[in-house]
Amino acid sequence: MSSDETERQSIEGELLVPQETYMLSGIHIGTEAEIKAMREFIYKVRNDGIHVFDLKKIDERIRIAARMLSHYEPGGILAVAASRFAVRPVQRFSQFTGAVAFVERFTPGLLTNPNLPGYMEPQVILLSNTEGGSQVVSEAALAGIPLIAFCDSNSPIDYVDLIIPMNNRSRKSLALAYWLLARQVLRERGQLGTQEDLPVKPEDFEMESEEGGIE
Amino acid sequence: MSEIRPTITVEFPICNSCRKPITPKERGVSFLCPNCGSYTIWRCKTCRKQGTKYVCPNCGFTGP
Ligand SMILES: [Zn+2]
Ligand SMILES: [Zn+2]
């Protein structure tokens, strides 16, 4: 890991976890490319062209996403894994929050065709990444379902109603983000105290490298 | 004798970003402000597609 990746950001106020925990997961490491709408979440661009996210903004958006999710019944939340490394984080997130996990290949029509077996009518969708989840995005658009998505510095944000900016490509950062979001949703609902933790560590949300899942 | 005709006014929700009415056919989206939860944000399909910013008049939260 280069010194840039562990370089502290000057942050006022408290974060959901210590800054080191965020940094070690690589949650702040974006890509070389950037789309304009993601610019507001960028802390700096490294010499090698990598966009580094502002940790305070990641933290803020996780809190806000948790608040938004707490407006819905647990079973009305559809958590979709659109990449391999998101499978276990999504399963764990759903286990703790009561959301419906969707970790398989997405059949066209699942949100738009009532005649299709497995047709779903969620109240809100939480998507691991818009790159791999373009079918989910277009169906959320057609069906008029609010969409929360983890977006990298170059992710398409079409139809996304709430962006959670972060590195959505890495096993560790996805695990930490879903773990934090699960804990924060439970805190918002009052099912956990404001200082209370989940009974498991973020590592428990992490995909094993040999585990299968969506390609 | 003058006939009283009932007038029906159909009010469509207004897009928070472009201020245009959203017809049911168009399929916009609505949700409670993610931040304060006390104001319903409406977004039309176009603004949603283009990622046009919305602002909550209650708490000032700016999305998406
Ligand atoms: Zn609009
Ligand atoms: Zn608000």
Is 80 exceeded by the pLDDT of residue A168? yes
The 10s digit of each residue's pLDDT in B3-49 is: 677 777 778 999 999 999 999 888 999 999 999 999 999 999 999 99
Q: What DSSP character marks residue B29?
A: E
Residues of B in contact with A65 (CB under 8 A): 34
Three-class SS of chain A:
CCHHHHCCCCCCCCCCCCHHHHHHHCCCECCCCCCHHHHHHEEEECCCCCEEECHHHHHHHHHHHHHHHCCCCHHHEEEECCCHHHHHHHHHHHHHHCCEEECCCCCCCCCCCCCCCCCCCCCEEEECCCCCCHHHHHHHHHHCCCEEEEECCCCCCCCCCEEEECCCCCHHHHHHHHHHHHHHHHHHHCCCCCCCCCCCCHHHHCCCCCCCCCC
Q: Given pLDDT bands bounded at 50, 70 and 90, which one contains residue B1?
A: low
Closest-CA distance, B6 to chain A, in angstroms, reads 32
What per-residue confidence (pLDDT) applies to A215? 46
What per-residue confidence (pLDDT) applies to A208? 84
Domain residue ranges in chain A: 20-190
Contact (CB<8Å) B64/A161: yes
What per-residue confidence (pLDDT) applies to A12? 87
| A138-151 average pLDDT score | 98
| Nearest ligand by distance to the CA of B43 | 1
CATH no. for A20-190: 3.40.50.10490
Closest-CA distance, A210 to chain B, in angstroms, reads 35
Is 80 exceeded by the pLDDT of residue A186? yes
Separation of alpha carbons B44 and B16, rounded Å: 8
Using the mean position of ligand 1's atoms as its centre, give its distance from the Cα of residue B60 in Å. 18
The 10s digit of each residue's pLDDT in B17-30 is: 999 999 988 899 99
